[in-house]
Chains A and B, each alone.
Chain A
Amino acid sequence: MIKNILNLGDAALYCDFGKDVNRETNTQVIRYFKSIQKENIPSINNLSPSYNKLIISFDLKKTNFKDLKKLIENLNITNEDDLKNKKIEVPVCCDENFALDIVRLENKLNLKREKIYENFFSKEFFCYMTGFIAGMPFLGDLSKDMRAKRLETPRVRVPKGSVALTEQFANIYTFESPGGWNVIGNSPLRIFDGSKEESPNLISPGDIVLFKEISKNQYENYNE
């Protein structure tokens, strides 16, 4: 449930679902997100679900904080059964040319790369949110021994398709972008497709993601 609704500036509601980042809290956020989305409220411009927050930005010409807050507080929220989550397999090649930060991770985590990959590929990930750049999924949770901080100096260019880790999360760079996450491989799978206006994102909040290791040869001959 929403614990608290504040204003973020004069044209957004800042809905707080509690301090903790876990699947339970995030599932609540997603439930609200999907329920509000379904209502097609014309004064709402955008919904931004994240780990434990939902930001609702609106058109100040059509409504205001007080009125929209009341509307959201009185909304019927979908129950769990209505959420349709997908399971998606993402192929990853861990060739040395792609695994830009594997040596750094070996040192930081004090684990051999074989163990890092074994942990990574045996895990089922949950998509908490998408964004920062178009389609980028924030996936969790890595086990405690797999958690490393961001690079001290972020890269100016992280290659498109990079699969990277930081703290309890994994993500996939859908575009070449600046970034500071630890890159361990690269996926040939297209995660964001702007030509598909209905569903440009392959992975959406609430979805389950499994990574599958592929060889350099499979990577090069990959065909969706």
Chain B
Amino acid sequence: MSKNYFQVIRAGINTTFQDEGRKNLYHVGIPFSGAMDKRNYLLSNKLVGNKINLPALEFAYQGPLLKYFGNKINIAITGDVNFRIKKKDITIDGNCYQSLNLEDGDEVDILSTNKSVYGYLAIGGQIDLKYQWSSCSTNTKAIIGANGGKKFENEQVINISKLNDHLVEKKLNYIHTKIENIRIIKGTNFDYFSDKGKKIFLEKEFVVSKLTDRMGMRLEGPKIENIIDTNIKSEGLIKGVIQVPADGNPIVMLSDHGTIGGYPKIGVVISADYDKLVQLSPGSRVKFKQVDLSSAENLFKLYDLETQNLISQIE
């Protein structure tokens, strides 16, 4: 055990270490993984003065309760998160998007994400983690990445191998925008569906089902009718692909998706909207809006510029 560490008193529902993910392994059967909401992940690191691509804690719905032991340290939490800091004689409600100081014996209690799914906790320093294929991202299905490929468990410890040299005081004025709709590009099997089915997909509302996790998001709504074949020859998948199996309910592939699939692809979520998409919690309503490739490329440039702006505001 190192000198500075967190004791995990309560693990939370699905707490893992994540970074930018791992490339060039789809052909082996290993997905990209990495932080689901990339923008919030990068911002959390920036707020504690880390290099922005260091591993951070990702939690979903209810996060962990952590007790800190060691020298004074910075943390920051991003997302739409309710949390408290318990100090010796006082408990304070925490604010997201600002650096906070923890002292020996302090606790961070991450109660819930508010009308969203994922939040991030960055620690000012280096967490003692094992890299696998140049990433720490935990993939619980293939049992690879940091923490032995597993999600957090009660009573485990997070060792900090090196604290940052200086404590920082940083803050970002971040405004959560309401998600109106998710933009998509037509998929390679768009014409497998009836005119009515296509219309349903592009015009009706879908509800995010409870069977949603880091691998995929299942949606429920009016059935999308297939008129060609409910199977295709198995082929590669990428995150954001929307498959429609025989039951007519769409499934969106998320960061830990299986690398091969055999259901027709009706659409693909554009890169600019992926961070928004993953934050839709079960029960949320979602509508898809079709855009063409060049609009999607421009929207990504805009998204990327916004992210860079937010990062530079933290300087």
Contact = CB atoms under 8 A, between A and B. Distances in A.
A1 interface: no
A174 B240 CA distance: 25
A7 B29 contact: no
A46 B23 contact: yes
A63 to B, nearest CB: 11
A126 B236 CA distance: 19
Interface stretch (A94-102, A114-122, A132-140, A215-223): A132-140
A175 B141 contact: yes
Interface in B263-286: 265, 268-271
Nearest to B185: A9
A33 interface: yes
Size bracket, chain A contacts: 35 or more
Contacts of A21: 233
A51 B269 contact: no
A60 interface: yes
B141 A48 contact: no
B201 to A, nearest CB: 15
A27 interface: no
B144 A51 contact: no
A7 B297 CA distance: 12
A50 B29 CA distance: 11
Nearest to A64: B297
Contact of B260 (A46, A60, A64, A132): A132
Nearest to B295: A10
B260 A129 contact: yes
Contacts of B304: 61
A50 B141 contact: no
Interface string A102-129: 0000000000000000000000000001
A196 B204 CA distance: 47
B17 interface: no
Interface string A22-48: 000000000001000000000011111
B142 A48 contact: no
Interface in A127-157: 129-136, 138
A205 B27 contact: yes
Interface in A55-97: 55, 57, 60-61, 64-65
B259 interface: yes
Given A6-B188, A53-B235, A61-B304, A48 B26 contact: yes
Given A131-B260, A133-B141, A55 B238 contact: yes
Nearest to A53: B235
B269 A9 contact: yes
Contacts of B293: 7, 10, 65
Contact of A46 (B32, B143, B188, B300): B32
Interface in B128-180: 132-133, 141-144, 149
Interface string B236-266: 1110110000000000000000111100010
Contacts of A65: 293, 297
A189 B270 CA distance: 41
Contacts of A201: 28-29
B24 A131 contact: no
Contacts of B268: 8-10, 12
A11 B237 CA distance: 12
A9 B182 CA distance: 13
Given A7-B293, A9-B185, A65-B293, A131 B259 contact: yes
B199 to A, nearest CB: 21
A14 interface: yes
B207 interface: no
Contacts of B149: 194
Interface in B27-76: 27-30, 32
A159 interface: no
A84 B231 CA distance: 32
Contacts of A52: 233, 235
Nearest to A44: B24
Contact of B28 (A45, A130, A175): A130
B271 A11 contact: yes
Interface string B286-302: 00000001001100100
A132 B259 contact: yes
Contacts of B27: 33, 46-49, 129-131, 205
B187 A8 contact: yes
Nearest to B28: A201
14 contacts: A12-B268, A14-B188, A45-B32, A46-B24, A46-B32, A50-B234, A53-B233, A60-B300, A131-B259, A134-B144, A175-B142, A194-B132, A194-B144, A205-B27
Interface of B: 23-30, 32, 132-133, 141-144, 149, 185, 187-188, 233-238, 240-241, 258-261, 265, 268-271, 293, 296-297, 300, 304
Given A10-B268, A131-B258, A194-B149, 5 more contacts: A14-B188, A45-B23, A51-B235, A133-B142, A201-B29
> Closest 6 interchain pairs by CB?
A48-B236, A9-B268, A55-B236, A10-B296, A131-B29, A131-B259
